[in-house]
Amino acid sequence: MDKLVVIHRGALRAKYGASGLKKIDAALAKLVRQDKKRGIDTTLVAVDLASEMKPLRAPVVPAKPDARSLKAAIDALAKARQPHYFVLLGGPDVLPMVALKNPAPSDGDAHVPSDLPYACEAAYSTDPNRFLGPTRVLGRLPDLPGASKPELLLQLIKAAADHQSRDRHDFDTSFGLSAEVWQASTRQSLDNTFGPANPLHLSPPDGPGWTQAELAPRMHFINCHGAEHDTSYYGQHGRDFPEAMTSAGVKGRITPGSVVAAECCYGAQVFDPALADSGEWPISVRYLADGAAAFVGSTTIAYGPSAGNGSADLICQFFLQRVLTGASSGRALLEARQQFAGARTHLDPVDLKTLAQFYLLGDPSLQPVTFVGHALTKTQAFKRAFAAVQDRGVRGLRRERLEREGRNLARSLPRLKSVDAKPAAAVTQAVTPMLRESGLAPADCQRTSYEVVGAPDRRVVHIYTASLPAVDATLRPLSLVATEQGGRLLHVRRMHAR
Amino acid sequence: MPADPPAAGDPGDPGAPAPSPARLRGRVACERVSAGSKSDRIGTLLALPDGRRVPLRRAGGNPFRDPELEALEGQVLIVEGEARASYFLVRHYTVCSDDDGSSG
């Protein structure tokens, strides 16, 4: 099977009524037909119907869906059908996200709502350490929590059905937006992804009013502040945090087929608009409603380093880079996750949260950029030979590789275990002046420590954060992540005060 | 077309905070919040008598810096609004004098 759309009919019917569900069925039927024309065999599975789940030996998700049941259902469907793409139909009040424990200490997030576990073979857990090796291509076509009319969902299904890949040249330009204080980091991300010629807008002074021409490029990279239940992203200069982009300001200005990566805290949180002051939709949903093909962002507070690129910067740029090579949006995120996790000997708590919190909104089978095959693929003989299977065979090979990569990561990346371990004297001696030089008063810092299970010698990660304002506010507050091994300081990095 | 199961009622989302009208009393403090993250900033909190420190966000205010709340630092407030997952949404507040019995 190529693509499996996971549906909870009871939850959808509770929101939209029988007539709404009927419209959704019709829209999905069209999606299946359009997918077939693209060479994708799509199957709809109602996870709350025993008549559909039992033949697949999959457990039925109860009438009131919960993440544990949904995870078990998806795992069973993966085993039974091995789809190349999983689509979760609906927002978190239709198909719940897994509420993972927050590995980053004291940042205000009680947990990390995540779709990552659904992309992994490990059994249900709320421990993010269990989900280090994603193997599945998965994305979510959201609706709005609290909605009573299905029009948005119908619109997104229709947009997925009508989607057409575009030539790479249609993605040559980009829209880059950064909080002014993070411009060096964002510039580096843009250079890595699009090359140095692409412009970068800074807030302040730019935004929040954007013209259609300014937003016209199909690749968007946004590195701004975001807040929970908020329909704006924010820039920063000193202690000034002006609006950089608003949901209302995006409406009607997005080019169909656009692809977005937003590093912002809560940048892809899907919430009931009634919770927002503005009453507007989340920016991520507004982008999709305006025709964006894919939006990758965070459900919670996100992280970046003090200089250069790291954490959120990396997973976002890896995703866009893969899209530009012609990957489907879902494969692009899976490869970005694997690249992000695989580049490290271990994931510290901040990177662990990063891996868990970024997810894909949009149909993961959509391929924004046309893949340019080798010359033989353009011959009649080649087309005849693969007319029946189209891309399916090669896609299967790619999935085989991605599964292997994911399993290797799951097997080889060590877990973190919270420990009450004081840093070795040599570590304290080295870190204390670093804290001072970073504008932190060591006495006011909280420390949280984690043992890297299975690492050689005894490797412990210590995170130092301050609960008081920085000694010198112009230095910007920050955290230090220090890695100790065998009683010596092995590595240290400073998290950017964003 | 498959037969549908009974309606689920409110499917709910364990991660989504439901608005719940609430009232808190405490002393306003300006402190560093979300340290080391992309939301790292000096935020406005309410220090409650039981020791909890609740981040405040004023309806209609900038979530990252709200001069109106900052100007109340050190004062005892009664705030009314909604307790949400990571902050208290202030819809109305009253400044109390220190001898109103608050421990702040």
Instruction: Please give the structure tokens belonging to residue A234.
Output: 């924010």
CA distance A385 to chain B (A): 36
Instruction: Please give the structure tokens belonging to residue A291.
Output: 């025709």
Q: A13 at the B interface (CB within 8 A)?
A: yes
- Give the total number of structural domains in chain A: 2
Torsion sign (Cα): B89, A240, A226, A149 = positive
Q: Given its phi and psi angles, is residue A418 left (phi above 0), alpha (psi -120 to 50 degrees) or beta?
A: beta
The verdict on residue B92 lying in a domain is yes
CATH number of the domain bearing residue B40: 2.40.50
| A306 and A441 housed in the same domain | no
Domain range for A69 is 1-413
3-state secondary structure of A196: coil
| A313 and A440 housed in the same domain | no
CA distance A289 to chain B (A): 22
* pLDDT the model gives residue A342: 96
Q: What is the pLDDT of residues A297-347, one digit of tens each?
A: 999 999 886 568 889 999 999 999 999 999 999 999 999 999 999 998 899
B7 pLDDT more than 80: no
Q: Which residues of A touch B87 (CB under 8 A)?
A: 108, 228
CA distance A416 to chain B (A): 19
Which has the closest alpha carbon to A270: A253, A288, A252, A244? A288
Q: What is the pLDDT of residues B22-76, one digit of tens each?
A: 999 999 999 888 777 777 788 999 999 999 999 999 999 999 999 999 999 999 9
- Give A369's DSSP letter: B
Q: Let me know: does A63 contact B8? Beta carbons within 8 Å.
A: yes
| Helical H segments across A329-370, by residue range | 329-342, 349-357
B17 pLDDT more than 90: no
CATH number of the domain bearing residue A393: 3.40.50.1460
| A428 and A406 housed in the same domain | no
CB contact under 8 A, A241 and B2: no
Domain range for B89 is 24-100
Of B13, B65, B84, the CB nearest to A229: B84
Q: A6 at the B interface (CB within 8 A)?
A: no
* pLDDT the model gives residue B98: 64
Q: B8 at the A interface (CB within 8 A)?
A: yes
End-to-end CA gap in chain A? 43
Q: Let me know: does A406 contact A333? Beta carbons within 8 Å.
A: no
Torsion sign (Cα): A108, A113, A116, A117 = positive
Instruction: Report phi then psi at A351, rounded to 5.
Output: -70, -35
* pLDDT the model gives residue A298: 97
Of A63, A301, A350, the CB nearest to B5: A63
Strands (DSSP E) found in A283-403: 294-298, 358-361
Which has the closest alpha carbon to B58: B87, B33, B85, B78? B87
β-bridge mates for residue B96, sequence order:
B76
The residue in chain B having the minimum alpha-carbon distance to the alpha carbon of residue A471 is B32
Say if residue A394 is exposed, middle or buried (CB neighbours under 10 Å; 0-12, 13-18, 19+). middle
Q: Let me know: does A97 contact A115? Beta carbons within 8 Å.
A: yes
CB contact under 8 A, B37 and A104: yes
Q: Best interface-test mutation with A: which of B40, B64, B90 has the largest number of A CBs within 10 A?
A: B40
Question: Which residue is it, tokens 């008598």?
Answer: B49
The greatest distance separating any two alpha carbons of chain B, rounded to the nearest whole angstrom, comes to 69
* pLDDT the model gives residue B1: 43
Domain end among A384, A413, A442: A413
| A408 and A484 housed in the same domain | no
Instruction: Please give the structure tokens belonging to residue A140.
Output: 């979510």
| A429 and A367 housed in the same domain | no
The residue in chain B having the minimum alpha-carbon distance to the alpha carbon of residue A99 is B15
- Give the total number of structural domains in chain B: 1
Q: What is the pLDDT of residues A142-177, one digit of tens each?
A: 999 999 999 999 999 999 999 999 999 999 999 999
| A265 and A218 housed in the same domain | yes
Could you say which residues from 294 to 353 on chain A have a Cβ atom under 8 Å away from some Cβ of chain B? 301-304, 312, 350
Please count the residues of chain A. Answer: 498
Could you say which residues from 78 to 137 on chain A have a Cβ atom under 8 Å away from some Cβ of chain B? 91-94, 96-97, 99, 104, 106-111, 113
- In order of A222, A273, A276, A301, the CA distances from A283 in angstroms are 12, 11, 11, 16
CB contact under 8 A, B31 and A469: yes
Q: Given its phi and psi angles, is residue B81 left (phi above 0), alpha (psi -120 to 50 degrees) or beta?
A: left
| A480 and A344 housed in the same domain | no
The verdict on residue B96 lying in a domain is yes
| A407 and A436 housed in the same domain | no
CB pairs under 8 A, 24+ apart, for A345-348? Answer: A345/A414, A345/A455, A346/A413, A346/A414, A346/A416, A346/A452, A346/A455, A346/A459, A346/A461, A347/A132, A347/A413, A347/A416, A348/A416, A348/A450, A348/A461, A348/A463, A348/A481, A348/A483
**Regions of chain A short of the pLDDT cut 70:** 305-307, 386-390, 466-478, 495-498
Which has the closest alpha carbon to A75: A6, A10, A9, A140? A6
d(CA A271, CA A289): 15
- In order of A42, A142, A387, A457, the CA distances from A2 in angstroms are 6, 21, 16, 45
| A433 and A394 housed in the same domain | no
Q: A143 at the B interface (CB within 8 A)?
A: no
3-state secondary structure of A325: coil
Of B4, B12, B63, the CB nearest to A13: B4
| A142 and A156 housed in the same domain | yes
Which has the closest alpha carbon to A265: A197, A182, A189? A182
Q: CB-based contacts of B57: which residues, under 8 Å, 6+ apart? A: A227, B63, B66, B87, B88, B89, B90
* pLDDT the model gives residue A189: 95
Q: Let me know: does A216 contact A306? Beta carbons within 8 Å.
A: no
| Helical H segments across A38-150, by residue range | 50-53, 67-81
- In order of A109, A228, B20, the CA distances from B89 in angstroms are 16, 11, 10
Instruction: Please give the structure tokens belonging to residue A271.
Output: 């919430």
The verdict on residue B75 lying in a domain is yes
The DSSP bridge pattern shows strands A294-298 and A259-262 to be parallel
β-bridge mates for residue B45, sequence order:
B29, B55
